[in-house]
Amino acid sequence: MVLAARIAEIEKRDRPPEPGDDILLSVITDETNAAIDLRLVDADNDNEADNKLNALISNAFNIWKATAGNAYLRHDGKPFEMPGAAQMIFSDLGTISVEKSRGFSA
């Protein structure tokens, strides 16, 4: 069901939600996930080459390729056995207000 239709159904309800009922928070969460990759809300969607998730993956892969041969030194001056840079990818999905409390958003 399209998100707007889900919201309309919620607004028509004349009683408190029961377990299993759609709620506005679920619609907003699905909307946020869909903005990243539609497959997060509907696995039957096709892979969109230019969505945010694929852009992230492409960028991480390009960094991995660019740094694969880099040698890094330990604090004692000896090189690490495995070359290449490490990457950490964070998602603060679901923590909208966290930027205000800590001054940045991961």
Per-residue pLDDT tens over the stretch 30-83 = 998 888 899 888 889 999 999 999 999 999 999 999 999 999 999 999 999 999
Question: Does residue 21 sit within a domain?
Answer: yes
Residue 21 pLDDT: 95
Under DSSP, the state recorded for 23 is -
Query: Residue 53: is it exposed, middle or buried by C-beta count within 10 angstroms (0-12/13-18/19+)?
Result: middle
Per-residue pLDDT tens over the stretch 7-26 = 999 999 999 999 999 999 99
Question: Does residue 86 sit within a domain?
Answer: no
- What tokens appear for 94 in the block? 């679901």
Question: Does residue 25 sit within a domain?
Answer: yes
- What tokens appear for 10 in the block? 């919620």
pLDDT at 97 over 80: no
pTM for this one? 0.66
Q: What is the mean predicted confidence (pLDDT) over 76-93?
A: 90
Question: Does residue 43 sit within a domain?
Answer: yes
Map residue 24 onto helix, strand or coil.
helix
Question: Does residue 12 sit within a domain?
Answer: yes
Range of the domain at 26: 1-48
Question: What confidence category does residue 103 fall into, taking pLDDT thresholds of 50, 70 and 90?
Answer: low
Residue 96 pLDDT: 59
The domain tally of the chain equals: 1
pLDDT at 94 over 80: no
Map residue 96 onto helix, strand or coil.
coil
Helix or strand holding residue 98 (H, E):
helix 98-102
More confident residue, 55 or 103: 55
Question: Does residue 13 sit within a domain?
Answer: yes
